[in-house]
Chain A
Amino acid sequence: MTPTLIGRWQTRIFLLSTVGVLASLPFYFGLTGHGGSFTYFWVLLYVGLFGCGWDVIYNYLMGYMWDHDWPGVLQLLAGIWEGLFLGTVLMVIGLPYIPTQDFYLVDFILHYGFVWVGIYLSSWVVMRILFPRWRFRGGEWLGKWPHSPS
């Protein structure tokens, strides 16, 4: 994929709030791990918040590649890195609404992994099929083409 910065943000927010929420529901209802909890949605929020920051860095790094491209393998590495970072922060310092004593590493890995795979796959499929414009606009699904001056 060849995203723009705004496109990265828009796609991340859209997918976290749709696919991400759907994928978190089984965890919220306590189908796995240490029983259901609203914490899973806070995790989603942090993935989104920190992610928007990471996106700035990814966008900068992309400039080193001649094609200004962000292949799947980098998407995967970025996903692993973000998970490691967030997991460590939650485990060591904790974040508002997710105190360290409520943090279970295995649950986090399961939830984060499940959400990530869902989002990864749908970024290839769902976005393209719902928004034919998406792939030509670097991942921006909101808004229309500007009216060209004539």
Chain B
Amino acid sequence: MHIQLSWEDPITEEQQEPIFPLPLAFGRDLSQLPSRWQGQEVSRAVFTSREVSRYHALIYCSENGQVIYEDRSANGSRINGKKIRQARQVLTGGEVVQFGPYNVTVSLVASADEDPDATLLTRAHRGTPTLLLEPPTDLIRPDTRTPIDIPPPSTVVFAPEQIVDSRAAGEFPPPQLFQAEHISLAALRATGLPVEESEYLALGGGIGSFVWVDTLRIHGVKPEQIRVISIAQKPYERYERLLNNCQIPRWKRIRSGSDSCPDNIWGWPGYALREAWRSFFSGRVLEALGFLWQVFSEPLLADTYTPRAGDVFTAMDREAARIGWEQMLCYGNIRAIRKTEDGRYVVAYSATRAGHTDHRFRVAKYVHLATGYPAIKLLKDLQEFREQTGDLKSVVHGYEPHSHVYEHLEKHGGTVLIRGFGIVASQVMERIYEARKVNPRISVVHLSRSPKSGNRFGRAKRAVENHWEFQPYNWPKATWGGDLRAMLEAATPLERRELLELWGGTTTASRRKWRRAVQEGLQQGWYSILFGKVEKVELDNKGKPVTYIQGTHNNTQVKVEADFVIDCTGLVSDPMTNPLLNDLISHYHLPLNPHGRLHVSNDFELVEMRNREGRMYAAGIITLGGPYAPVDTFLGLQYCAHRSVEHLVRVRAPGTKTLEGIGSLWQWCKWALNLKP
């Protein structure tokens, strides 16, 4: 008999589903877990939270074939919500076992029909060949890492640069040349391809690159010294595409603070003040006061203020023109990054456009890497469904275009199954609420692995209502600049992981409108929440996707027939799934943090990439799990930019000046007057 534990990683939001042969011992401290029990070899799993005991519990098969959960902990466990401590209980499969911050669903699998893919996760998980879920005590060093292959493309098309990449592969960058640790400029020139040079180079050209370049410009660097390589014209291009897909057009509000302004490094005036200003002079005085009241009293007395997407983009356009973004932008697909022999970096990129191949190199001394999300992935069972049926219409991801779902529902009515409880799920719910005004014959089944009770940290508890967990932004606010930021930076990699587990998880913003939709839906019966773990999704004879769910009691099975299934779980942040990053990490043996993301210093430097005077930095989701929690947010990206540029000032990088006091005020005045920095 084997046991499968499944849960969602609270930080990366990835599904974890390792399978262990019984008996299984788990706890916080590997050395406290027995390796043998009653003559049998024991599988061991380590969960790092301090709320888990050193040796928390043992799960074994009794003589009469029952599976027994034996709690041995100080704080106890909860099985389907019922507390047990220092006691035994029979498991029949499907139960949700809660210990510390973890909510783990247990499934019993006969050894024979074990899913070969499922164990893969465990092996990939820090490279232990046995079924041992052992977290590293520190950074993951390259020599202990098993190579992870780039997974086959998902059916969700997300990164156009990767598609072009695979089509135009071949002999660029020249494989022989790019095998070296350090490449000489002479060798680059000998290829006959153009070799361009600049002092600073931003890779990606999304919002992360934009705020870095903006910060550099305001710290004194001239546009001639900076180049940006991207396939996007506008810095918010990919972001806007994702917003559109998850039903947020320009006039809708995003999930961001008033002072998270990618167009203004000081955060003043924030979007609330600017919007209040505009409303006031358009004669809408009450509305203007409303915005000010929101920023004054949020989140205690009012919903948190958030700006409209369109206002953020307009402001970025203005700033882009001010700092000369287009002048610095080079169109291209980034293929590979290497160190050069003269203490710099070379980036091989392809500016190929239809019908005309154009391969180039660009050499720079200071490089910033912000390529955003590596991929979007469907939940495994949904991906299987799409592969088997070829049906890309009835099972969709919230981040891919899926307006046809709402059009169909408005015309014909129907049932939607939603997976995931984050911000995208809220948006989808809002959209369905609108659709119900056109056609009330629409119902929603919302699937959750386990009931939510709200994370705790110190004296505080996160708010929960109807199993939706609320938090204004995706991390507690003090992680951007308050005491939680300081605490995380001071912690060791493993302590960071623990803190992030307590602060993370899927949450949504508490907006009155959304909460009312959920409340009404529950009361009127068109919205229901179902608990359990999905076993499979299949096409029934009416051509609809049917989801088979293992309930939380006694291995019961529930079947949900729906017209559409919408996957509202997160995006993939594993850098190994991206060809460019995979190559960089493998080639230079870069260490990863305990979440398998790029390890950066507190200044966001990739320290192992240092090349004499040359420095390389990273920002965004690819650094998740490091010294700073909200890396994938506007303000977080500005923080990354701020730290790395202050670091550049310290190493006296050319053109950079300290920004403080009167100098800072002067730069702000230029911003306000829309003058070049």
- Report which A residues bind B (CB closer than 8 A): 2-5, 59, 62-69, 71-74, 76, 124-125, 128-133, 135-138, 144-150
Contacts and interface: CB of A to CB of B under 8 A. Distances in A.
Given A66-B460, A132-B642, A150-B607, A73 B660 contact: no
Nearest to A137: B481
B642 A74 contact: no
B478 interface: yes
Given A131-B660, A138-B481, A68 B602 contact: no
A69 B485 contact: no
Contact of A71 (B296, B462, B486, B607): B296
B259 A130 contact: no
Q: Which of A66, A131, A138 has the most CB of B within 10 A?
A: A66
Nearest to A144: B646
Interface in B643-664: 643, 646, 650, 659-662, 664
Interface stretch (B67-75, B262-270, B352-360, B442-450): B262-270
Nearest to B643: A145
Given A73-B297, A128-B268, 17 more contacts: A5-B483, A63-B459, A66-B462, A68-B460, A69-B299, A69-B477, A71-B296, A71-B299, A129-B266, A129-B664, A130-B664, A132-B642, A133-B646, A136-B639, A137-B486, A145-B602, A150-B605
Question: Which 5 interchain pairs have the tightest Cβ spacing?
Answer: A2-B482, A68-B478, A67-B477, A148-B602, A72-B296
A130 B668 CA distance: 9
Contacts of A147: 650
Nearest to B610: A150
A147 B462 CA distance: 34
A139 B281 CA distance: 33
Nearest to B666: A129
A72 B297 CA distance: 6
Nearest to B265: A132
B668 to A, nearest CB: 5
B481 A132 contact: no
B603 interface: yes
B268 A129 contact: yes
A72 B601 CA distance: 34
A138 to B, nearest CB: 5
A104 to B, nearest CB: 31
B371 to A, nearest CB: 23
B482 A4 contact: yes
B665 interface: yes
B387 interface: no
A123 to B, nearest CB: 11
Given A71-B300, A73-B300, A129 B668 contact: yes
A128 B664 CA distance: 9
Given A66-B463, A73-B296, A148-B603, A132 B664 contact: yes
B313 interface: no
7 contacts: A66-B476, A67-B477, A76-B296, A129-B664, A132-B642, A136-B481, A138-B483
Contact of B267 (A62, A67, A128, A144): A128
Interface string B460-501: 111100000001100011101111111000000000000000
Contacts of A3: 482-483
Contacts of A59: 483
A16 B486 CA distance: 25
Nearest to A2: B482
A67 B471 contact: yes
Q: Which of A72, A135, A137 has the most CB of B within 10 A?
A: A135
B660 A68 contact: no
Q: Which of B471, B472, B486, B665 has the most CB of A within 10 A?
A: B486
B457 interface: yes
Interface string B272-305: 0000000000000000000000011111110000
Contacts of B664: 129-132
Contacts of B486: 4, 137-138
Contacts of B485: 136, 138
B175 interface: no
B275 to A, nearest CB: 16
Contact of B642 (A68, A76, A130, A136): A136
A130 B666 CA distance: 9
Interface in B492-513: none
B458 interface: yes
Contacts of B482: 2-4, 68-69, 138
A129 B478 contact: no
Contacts of A144: 646
Contacts of A148: 601-603, 605
Contacts of A136: 480-481, 485, 639, 642
B177 to A, nearest CB: 29
Contact of A145 (B266, B268, B603, B662): B603
Contacts of B484: 2, 68
Given A2-B482, A132-B664, A138-B483, A66 B471 contact: yes
A120 to B, nearest CB: 10
Interface string B504-526: 00000000000000000000000
Contacts of A72: 295-297
A133 B297 contact: no
B299 A67 contact: yes
A66 B461 CA distance: 6
Contact of B460 (A64, A131, A145): A64
Interface string B294-331: 01111111000000000000000000000000000000
Contacts of B607: 150
Nearest to B482: A2
Interface in B335-361: none
Nearest to A136: B481
A2 B266 CA distance: 16
Contacts of A133: 642, 646, 660
A63 B458 contact: yes
Contacts of B605: 148, 150
Contacts of B642: 132-133, 136
Nearest to A125: B268
B187 to A, nearest CB: 29
Nearest to A63: B459
B299 to A, nearest CB: 7
Nearest to A131: B660
Contacts of B481: 2, 135-138
Nearest to A5: B483
Contacts of B463: 66
Contacts of A62: 483
A148 B604 CA distance: 10
B675 to A, nearest CB: 16
Q: Which of A59, A131, A138 has the most CB of B within 10 A?
A: A138
Contact of A129 (B296, B299, B601, B665): B665
Contact of B665 (A63, A69, A130): A130
A141 B336 CA distance: 40
A66 B119 CA distance: 36
